[in-house]
Structure 1
Amino acid sequence: MRDEKTTHFGYEEVAVDEKAGRVRAVFDSVANKYDLMNDLMSFGVHRLWKRHTIEISGVRRGQRVLDLAAGTGDLSARFSGLVGAEGEVIFSDINAAMLEQGRERMLNEGRAGNLHYVQADAQYLPFPENHFDCVTIGFGLRNVTDKQLAINAIYKVLRPGGRLLVLEFSKPTNKPLEKLYDLYSFSLLPKIGKVITGDEESYRYLAESIRMHPDQETLKGMMEHAGFERCDYFNLTGGVVAIHRGYKL
């Protein structure tokens, strides 16, 4: 019997057991143009957002890092260099097409020794408890069906002293910027997606999924609910993006 509980897929209400498949189809569609679209959508600023995430991660040589929703590996590549040969980075994504794109990129860049690839759902992580020094999820939490379930799962696999960093689109901190951002997201972004990938609807979904994602204070509360302590967040580009950080103590 089908579970009749619903969740959001952008602005659309769908059955809980349908969302993962719908999200998978979006990323199957855009995987081969993912990096190009990231540069175009953010005017290249996504690289600075990711650099700041790395800088505040506290990751050091010899540590274990889990990079969820790794995409094509911008964060994983940086972490691979930081942890060195004695460390380990798990490059993970729920989407097989994205995982393959990322694996191919890492191999082409000669990053192989300390990187391991795992297709996994952030809600049900196939890793031991108390295992990782740092878990990151960049621009992926908003696509997870049950965000609280994922945050709880991340808490379990972090070792005491470990930290979670969530890099995600968030809520702009002033109204003029919010209005400009809405205009860009709903009028221009889907058109760019249509020209570059031939898929306007996937980028319309991405714009809607950002608006449905919890705002800064709500996400902070969700992390605290999971058990994280010393939770804080950093607004970037006027709150268009935020980095949330919490520790398992």
Structure 2
Amino acid sequence: MDKIGKIIRDLRLKAGFSQKTLAQALHITDKAISKWERGICLPDVTLLPKLSLLLDTDVDILISKSIEQEEWVGLIDISGCDFSQLVYDKPLVYYLLSHYLLLGITKIHVLTNDVNRHFLEQKLFRTLGFQFSFDSAIEQNAMTLTHPWFLFGSDLTQQFQGAMLSGRNMTLIPENQVPVFYFTHNEVKSKKYAIRTLGRGMVCLDMDNYDKVLDVAVFVRTYQKNSGLLIGSLEEIAYKRGLITNEQLLDVASKAPYGELLRKVIGKPQVDLT
């Protein structure tokens, strides 16, 4: 957090803002700016778009770099569903893994059954940068998923980042539902978790039986058909993170049921998120 504070301070000075004038532009107190720069707390995720614009930078990328330096790993503890189950045009596990890959987390501990384990050991996942471990021995900060939830909504990744950089154990809960992700800081001795409610408009659907999987499939199909954008595509995320080349993406696109949408990704600027 101290590093993020220094970055914000340097960018503020470069942009010609005092703490007071930046606070006025964001409609907050200058004490809040001071706390950011001293590493006491982080900007609320709702402020990131405007802060990024004012400081002429991509704050989201800066936060991603800080998260990677904190050595976060993923933990998926799910045995009661089939990872290879097709949910419209992608295996179920793609939707789970996409959240980790968007955050730059590629080291994933998986506690599951032998069938799912065999599916994850396919070459494709290694090509996309994933490193799977099938044990529960974790010494780093961990982002844990214990149920096959489908999550979709604006600013979802930023909300995850906020939990990871909060400095305390936290669980995220959609409105009127149960916890979906747990964020555990290795250096925090307390076993208690602070609760943060995800914002309005968040889609949270269960995928633990075939009827519910069908509901998710209908949602994904409708969204992709109408927007021309993909949900849960590990290949697209890996490409935009620079983990695979144009040639590798084209190879995957030739085999994927959503290959046409993947081919449209090529030619668009890649963003260095590493």
Q: TM-score, normalization: structure 2?
A: 0.28
- Structure ID, larger Rg: 2
More helix by share: 1
More strand by share: 1
